[in-house]
Structure 1
Amino acid sequence: MSSDSYSTGTLIYEVNLSVPREKADEYIDWLRGFTKTQVRTIPGFISSVVFRQPKPYGLHWLSEEGDAKTYMTVHYVIASQEDLDEYLKTSQPEVASAEQERFEFLVTSRRTMSVV
């Protein structure tokens, strides 16, 4: 699904991440494969896109990090709210724990959006 073909009601699960700058390239390589695996193996996950973003401004707790971090955003297209709820209940805590341990990243936010 391309970004210009989202229809009304398309559900996007967004995850915003920061990772220590010295681990950024390794993390991005890992994240690309990880998100593709999520889409292949988790019911209701349709597609994913990984973005690298500039340092977020105006977010006080992030602005204090200086240039020590690299920031990324992942958008997952999810088939239904039920599929997302099941993932959040059963798989997400384990995924977050494994990433934290390996890469020492900080999840800055998660949110759900739907196309209007």
Structure 2
Amino acid sequence: MSTDAVSSPMTPVHSYAPGTLVYEVNLSVPREKAEEYLDWLHVFTKEQVQKIPGFISSIIFRQPKPYGLHWLSEEGNAKTYMTVHYVIASQSDLDSYLKTQQASVATAEQERFEYVVTSRRTLSVV
């Protein structure tokens, strides 16, 4: 399996055409739980796309240790870093999600896997 990008064969492939809205979630997971977490994350992200209005697709990336980010450097090599991109149909769909569902989604399985959401951001392809 490639360590650059991991995508479930069940996840539709999307393009990043101009105007595409991406909701990005960056995670750090204890290295010893990374494979179990990744298995769970594939199922979880697919479910989010199926049930959250306006969520079109998702893709999961495993990233190397983010060197140069001083706020993560104290983790050493104890963590594995992952990024999830959700493609969203519209800004209003994203706003609705952030207002009504994001808080509960953010805590899903957090205690079990001891992961930390290191950042979230919205990207728009230009």
Aligned-residue RMSD, C-alpha:
1.2
Q: CA deviation at 1:104?
A: 1.2
> Which of 96, 101, 116 is 1:106 aligned to?
116
Match of 1:38 in 2: 48
- Unaligned regions of 5+ residues in structure 2, if any? 1-11
> Which of 37, 49, 56 is 1:27 aligned to?
37
TM normalised by structure 1 equals 0.93
Q: Any residues of structure 2 matched to 1:79-98 within 5 Å, and which?
A: 79-98=89-108
- Post-superposition Cα deviations, 1:72-101, rounded to whole Å, max 9, x if no partner, equal 000000001111111111111112123322
Q: Please identify which structure carries the higher helix content.
A: 1
Determine the C-alpha separation between the residues in 2 that align with 1:8 and 1:78: 13
Aligned length: 115
- Unaligned regions of 5+ residues in structure 1, if any? none
- Post-superposition Cα deviations, 1:32-59, rounded to whole Å, max 9, x if no partner, equal 0100111111000000000111100111
Percent identity, aligned pairs only, is 78
Determine the C-alpha separation between the residues in 1 that align with 2:84 and 2:107: 17
Q: CA deviation at 1:102?
A: 2.0
Determine the C-alpha separation between the residues in 2 that align with 1:43 and 1:8: 21
SS of 1:66's partner is coil
